[in-house]
Amino acid sequence: MKELKNIKEVKENLVKMIADDWALVSAADGEKWNTMTISWGGVGELWGKDVVFAFIRPQRYTKEFMDKSDYFTVSFFEGIYRDALKICGTKSGRDCDKTTLAGLSAEFDGEAVYPAEAKLVIKCRKLAVQKMDNAGFLDKSIESNYKAGDYHYVYIGEIEKVIEK
């Protein structure tokens, strides 16, 4: 894996990669780590910094790790890992060792963790977290994504490192 200078060097379409190919968001608490599949999120510029936006529902086990860590990663994979991403999106790390089940192994970069099998990793330092609130939904059809009232938390992380195979 090689480190890129910044996110602008990534040649692939990150919007497509998140929405269509999916990604894993991962965090560690010093002893354990967890990861989950995401298909909502973004990469952009905010507050004069290159950032990642990750959306996590309150009941997800990964949220506990995100809250305990100053860092998180977003990782992208070759198509052969689609089943692994399905496992990480449907199984909970509370109930099983889903990373082993998915055939993934941990790679650490300081406090940050990511699956070693990833083709592209974005390491982020948490800048902000905010719970979404339906009072801000101008398009009321968005509410259909929250029948249980489990509004996502939005994690904003400054991109510190981009690692590519």
pLDDT tens-digit readout, 28-79: 998 899 999 999 999 999 999 999 999 999 999 999 999 999 999 999 999 9
Mean pLDDT (whole number) for 98-116 = 96
Q: Which domains does the chain have, with CATH numbers?
A: 2-164 (2.30.110.10)
Confidence band (pLDDT; 50, 70, 90) for 141?
A: very high
- Greater confidence (121 vs 2) lies with 121
4-8, 37-41, 103-107, 149-153: lowest mean pLDDT where?
4-8
- The whole model's pTM is what? 0.95
Q: Is the pLDDT of residue 5 over 90?
A: no
Confidence band (pLDDT; 50, 70, 90) for 116?
A: very high
| Long-range contacts of residues 56-59, Cβ cutoff 8 Å, at least 24 apart | 56/25, 56/152, 56/153, 56/155, 57/150, 57/151, 57/152, 57/153, 58/131, 58/150, 58/151, 58/153, 59/150
Report the chain's mean pLDDT, rounded to a whole number.
Answer: 95
User: What count of Cα atoms within 13 Å lies in the side-chain half-sphere of residue 63?
Assistant: 15
